[in-house]
Structure 1
């Protein structure tokens, strides 16, 4: 039987891969036969991720990494390449979420603290991944590689009190396109996925939360996203079937942006 998405032999590094969307992406890769390197700051969460991911039969390595620490990112990528012999993909998913009362109240500490992880941490992770992929290319391996930024609808829309988050996610989009243009000659692809409102282990809301209620009313899918909704896009971008897909931004939001919050789907007529 033909297995379309077969990642056997491919090694993918997932920052923030021990929880939430990052873990779901790592799980999708492991399900498809890929080897996974999980970067996370919490040792106990890393160990838990390794146990579950290893159950799919592939190789799994967890490293304690703060992506805001450049020296550690450089060291961790080198360790991963030495352990598995190569790196074929990097998913820059690690990030923080922070709300301030308003833009006028936002301190420079809050601004730089969030960007240190969400923007600069993503830059460091994909830079080191790209360097390793270029070394493989120079050694005669022309299979290239895939870089994927996990951004947010906040890269495309405004969020009161979250301008630092907007800035970081928007920067991912611009950065990714610049990388795609420069790295394409080495078979390296760079893309962005923008998740919509998603409930996960790292972002939880009660059913009666105003955001959840609004999503139910105005999202065509009628629900919040779940972390597992992002397994497939990770597998696609880490596979050879996306070899001509680069410099793009993919929105996965259940139709939220298509509706733009205009139509109350609970009040729409039912199809006969």
Structure 2
């Protein structure tokens, strides 16, 4: 079995670096025409140039409805995109005593509301074009485990789980699939910048397999889930975390 996305148009939000860039590359390598959307437009364009395969990088703030809708309309072919990967995210580390409403709202907007905004527009376009597309959301196993100094982030990623399951039941009758991937400890910029590097050894002890995952480990699972090989899967949240979370 080899994953083929030939002829598909894909959008990856937050794709300028890390897991998002790896996902964009995996989809492009599988034959998809990829648009990389990121608030860092120059980074998105650089990522697209690195990936090749005709990938395109564009500037877009995933929390802004007008920008997201225009980006998806510009990316669409024959009325809609085939694949939407909601990857845009920020991972700040803030102690609970320092969490105020402004911080909370920024985290929820970036990590959860952005998923709604893009999914709302993309699924509307898919239905209007009679396109049996797929939405893939990037969550986090932090939702299952709970993580100190990340309460707002954990809440947002928990919302992604609930939204994924709910939206799958809403749009399944139109042939649109919705799934999520829940990365664990992964060699990404967020992990490298974490003030909790000294605790990652303990995290690895909780895993069934030691070590840190690579962005490509996440990307390969995403490429499978958005392909026809996973055509009978929807509403699922798949942990890719070396067995840390064993549900």
Alignment pair present for 1:212 and 2:210: no
1:97 aligns with one of 91, 96, 107? 91
**Secondary structure at 2:76's aligned position in 1?**
helix
What is the TM-score when the length of structure 2 is the normalising length? 0.93
* 1:81 matched residue in structure 2: 76
Structure 1 gaps, min length 5? 261-272
Q: Aligned equivalents of 2:25 and 2:65: distance in 1?
A: 26
2:110 aligns with one of 101, 110, 117? 117
Assess, with a 3 A threshold, how the Cα gap between structure 1 residues 52 and 85 changes in structure 2: closer, same or farther.
farther
Instruction: Report the alpha carbon displacement of residue 203 of structure 1 after superposing the two structures with TM.
Output: 3.0
Instruction: Report the alpha carbon displacement of residue 41 of structure 1 after superposing the two structures with TM.
Output: 1.3
* 1:40 matched residue in structure 2: 38
Contact 2:45 2:56 survives alignment (8 Å)? no
Q: Aligned equivalents of 2:115 and 2:128: distance in 1?
A: 20
Structure 2 gaps, min length 5? none
**Secondary structure at 2:116's aligned position in 1?**
helix
**Aligned structure 1 segments of 4 or more residues deviating by more than 6 angstroms:** none
Q: What do the CA deviations read for 1:45-69 (whole angstroms, capped 9, x no partner)? A: 1121111221xx3x32211011011
Q: What do the CA deviations read for 1:184-225 (whole angstroms, capped 9, x no partner)? A: 11110011110001112343169x932332244442321011
**Secondary structure at 1:75's aligned position in 2?**
helix
Alignment pair present for 1:179 and 2:174: no
Which residues in structure 2 correspond to 1:1-272 (within 5 Å)?
4-54=2-52, 57=53, 59-81=54-76, 86-102=80-96, 104-137=97-130, 141=131, 144-204=132-192, 209-258=197-246
**Secondary structure at 2:91's aligned position in 1?**
coil
Contact 1:40 1:64 survives alignment (8 Å)? yes
Q: Aligned equivalents of 1:216 and 1:161: distance in 2?
A: 19
Q: Aligned equivalents of 2:79 and 2:63: distance in 1?
A: 25
179-188 vs 159-168, greater mean Cα deviation? 159-168
What is the TM-score when the length of structure 1 is the normalising length? 0.85
Contact 2:26 2:219 survives alignment (8 Å)? yes
Q: Aligned equivalents of 2:107 and 2:5: distance in 1?
A: 33
Contact 1:94 1:117 survives alignment (8 Å)? yes
Q: What do the CA deviations read for 1:234-255 (whole angstroms, capped 9, x no partner)? A: 1111211111100111000011
**Secondary structure at 2:106's aligned position in 1?**
helix
